[in-house]
Amino acid sequence: MTAPLLIFGQTGQVARELAQLAPDAIFLSRAEADLSNPESCAKAIHTHVPRAVINAAAYTAVDKAEEEAQAQVINGEAPATMARAAAELGCPFVHISTDYVFQGHGDAPWTPDDPTAPQNAYGHSKLAGEDGIRASGATYAILRTSWVFSTHGNNFLKTMLRLSETRDALSIVDDQIGGPTPAQSIAEACLSIADQLQKDRGKSGTYHFSGAPDVSWKEFAKEIFDTADRKVAVSGIPTSNYPTPATRPLNSRLDCSALQSTFGILRPDWRIATQTIIDQLRRMGEIE
């Protein structure tokens, strides 16, 4: 019998897509492994002796993270502790990180080696997790992605569809640019990376992965409304006109070429997934 694939997270956007693609994997809920108790996560890895570990759990409420110390433990300490346990067993560790580790100046796509400078507490917590994993001694892949959306959970696409039920005009920031990324594509990438790392530990490292083309949140919103046949007038506003507790980077473009050359994984066109997800939400009766 081959050892199982062990996945932290069960209810999140990426975790649910992983469950579709890898039904035989073991998925750990918060009750089974609570990331606010990192040792419980290390223990789970030692109990299951997996062939690889994927961490799809995280604290993702960006504004709330500004005042919740828990985010630092869940995103910072837990992944580092998991990676050390994986190193002890010699199994690869695949982890998802974020564009929010970057400062966000300029307009060039960030490469994996570019200097990081998070602008908010969530970004700091995710960078701490990355640093801990890189220092763990594990064979690892840190996959930085951005603007994740799917039929499940909380995401910008679902927020826009919800707002369109009651609003005929919306103001959306048009000076934050990035790549919306379907959760399903991230799940596919994580599974392929886990398999490839098992065969070739030399691929260990930090990589970028986001949907193409890069757009502003306003352009993403417009595509969502066009695709779902919603009549909403969208006007672009600068970030300064949409104050939030957490500062977001303006330039979230990610250079994904290293992932392509090392793992053969291409950027997905997020417009195709937008159509697919809206069709699915209709079939599920969640939208008209």
Ligand X SMILES: Cc1cn([C@H]2C[C@H](O)[C@@H](COP(=O)(O)OP(=O)(O)O[C@H]3O[C@@H](C)C(=O)[C@@H](O)[C@H]3O)O2)c(=O)[nH]c1=O
- Under the rule (CB under 6 A), what is the footprint of ligand NDP? 9-15, 30, 34-36, 56-60, 74, 96, 98, 126, 145-148, 153, 183
Q: Which CB atom, from 235 or from 268, has the smaller least distance to ligand NDP?
A: 268
Q: How far is the CB of 93 from ligand X (least distance, A)?
A: 19
- Binding ligand X (rule: CB under 6 A), the pick from 25, 74, 173, 191 is 173
Written as one string, the DSSP assignment of 224-266 is HHHHTT---EEEEE-GGGS--SS---SB--B--HHHHHHH-PP
* Range list of β-strands (E), the chain: 5-8, 26-28, 52-55, 93-98, 140-145, 148-149, 169-173, 177-178, 181-182, 205-208, 215-216, 233-237
Q: Alpha-carbon distance 219 to 234, whole Å?
A: 9
Q: How far is the CB of 175 from ligand X (least distance, A)?
A: 9
H-assigned helices in 2-73: 13-21, 38-48, 70-72
Closest residue by Cα to residue 133 from 170, 73, 182, 82 = 82
- Binding ligand X (rule: CB under 6 A), the pick from 8, 102, 110, 147 is 147
- Residue 125 interacts with which of ligand NDP, ligand X, none, CB < 5 to 8 Å by class: none
Q: How far is the CB of 233 from ligand NDP (least distance, A)?
A: 25
Q: Which CB atom, from 194 or from 215, has the smaller least distance to ligand X?
A: 215
Parallel, antiparallel, or unpaired for β 26-28 and 52-55?
unpaired
Q: How many CB atoms lie within 10 A of CB 1?
A: 3
Residues 204-263 that bind ligand X (CB under 6 A): 217, 242, 248
26 lines the binding site for ligand X (CB under 6 A): no
- Residue 13 interacts with which of ligand NDP, ligand X, none, CB < 5 to 8 Å by class: ligand NDP
- Binding ligand X (rule: CB under 6 A), the pick from 10, 60, 136, 274 is 60
98 lines the binding site for ligand X (CB under 6 A): yes
Catalytic positions, please? 122
Closest residue by Cα to residue 100 from 116, 78, 79 = 116
The C-alpha angle 277, 282, 286, rounded to 5 degrees, equals 100
Closest-approach residue to ligand NDP (CB): 12
| Region from 78-86, 164-172, 191-199, 253-261 binding ligand X, contact rule CB under 6 A | 164-172
